[in-house]
Amino acid sequence: MAEYHLYCFAQSGNAYKAALMLETTGCDWGSRFVDFFNGETRTPEYRRINVMGEVPVLVHGNTTLSQSGVILDYLAEKTGKHGWRNDDERREVLRWLLFDNHKFTSYTATYRFLKTFVKEPNADVLEFFGGRMKAAFSVLAAHLADRDWVALNRTTIADLSLCGYMFFEDEIGVNFAESYPAIARWLDRVRALPNWKHPYELMPGHPIPGT
């Protein structure tokens, strides 16, 4: 049996963050498909695994963790990769993890879900989240204008967290090379990491079962 088990599904960028960390660091891991679109995360059985009713969930021995940022922090400690070397570096990585969860993934994931998976989204709501998403993209693009990686001068879990939804660019409807070239260059560097795979190749559930 694999050392790490990840509850995930291919359309989840948050699960992708953990899966990409496991894959690029060479961990022995396996995936457990979560049937989100048919309501599995709302079932009592799944809520016993994660009371929040979300993916990802990582199981490692007797340890069960939820929330992608917590999982990335744990894996950085366990693998000794994509982490920090001192407290100043730890705080800089944490700063960008919090930005991602509060201002970046939150708006990008919601916009993409409405645009891609909701049949008739409210146009005003879609416009609101699209504007917030683009504002977050502009912050990251400005930061990456003169640097290769987000938090430090090397890859960290901040990069793996922020890129979670960025490889769904066709579903988001943004051409990064044209609109945010600094982000496009950064994503190319992420793609060059060992064993990089697109979320639809790395995790189970694509195409959505039953579609």
| 53-56-61 Cα angle (round to 5) | 105
Question: Of the candidates 208, 107, 211, which has an alpha carbon nearest to the alpha carbon of residue 164?
Answer: 107
- Kindly report whether the global pTM for this prediction surpasses the value 0.85: yes
Q: Give the model confidence (pLDDT) of 92-139 as tens digits.
A: 999 999 999 999 999 999 999 999 999 999 999 999 999 999 999 999
Phi, psi values for residue 16, rounded to 5°: -60, -35
Q: Give the model confidence (pLDDT) of 46-98 as tens digits.
A: 999 999 999 999 999 999 999 999 999 999 999 999 999 999 999 999 999 99
Q: Across the strands, what pairs with 32?
A: 7
Q: What is the pLDDT of residue 209?
A: 77
Radius of gyration of the chain (CA): 17
